[in-house]
Structures are given as C-alpha cells and as structure tokens.
Amino acid sequence: MARRPKLILRRAERGVDLPTTDQTSTAELHYLADFLQYGTISIGHMEPVGGVATASEGKHVYVTLRRKPGESLHQTIVRLDRAVGRVIHELVYIDEINPPG
C-alpha cells in the first residue's frame, strides 16, 4: 500500500472554538474517519496541562488541543475533528498547549 505524501504546514493556529451544541452525531466526524486511515488520535491526561487531544502521523503532530473547563468529551472530539479538517484543507497546525514562538 502506497503512503500518502506528508502534509507541508504553513503556520500554527492557537485554537478551535467549542461547538455551539452537544448534539453533533459521530457520523458527522468526517475528518477524523479519513485521518485515522493514516494517522493517530489520542485523548487523555497530560501533566501539568490536564486533558488533551492530539492528532499525529508518525513523529508529526498536527493538532494539540487543551480540553476546556466544563467541556464534554463529545465537544472535545468535535473540536478535534474540526481542527483536523483545518489541517487538511488549510495546511495549518493547531497548538493550544505550547506557547507561540
């Protein structure tokens, strides 16, 4: 099976907004389904940051989201899906954890 070419990212963004509703169906998570054909997502706890969600391929990390206070797991997954969509379409990476620089 041929590997797809690596994404060449243009710039870093600082975040993705919370979904306005918690009613999004997992069937609407198109970007994560496509991304999981070649990449990995991870959701968990990381000291000292707290809750995080990441999307990566090999050693390339494209999305790092910090789970917001009061944010449900479903909202975190929807934000991760939207962030992966921005990576694919806009060639940016999303980093809410590391300071800009």
**Residue type, position 50, single letter:** G
Spatial distance between the Cα atoms of 17 and 45, rounded to a whole number of angstroms: 20
- DSSP letter string, 47-76: TTTEEEEEEEETTEEEEEEEPPTT--HHHH
Q: What value does the mean pLDDT take over residues 73-100?
A: 89
The predicted structure's pLDDT at residue 98: 84
Provide mean pLDDT across the span 71-98: 90
The verdict on pTM exceeding 0.85 is: no
Please compute the mean of the pLDDT values over residues 33-50 and round it to a whole number: 91
Give the pLDDT score at 83. 93
Compute the distance between CA of residue 22 and CA of residue 43 in angstroms, rounded to an integer: 18
Is the peptide bond between 48 and the residue preceding it cis, with omega within 30 degrees of 0? yes
Q: Which residue has the higher pLDDT, 27 or 80?
A: 80
pLDDT at 35 over 60: yes
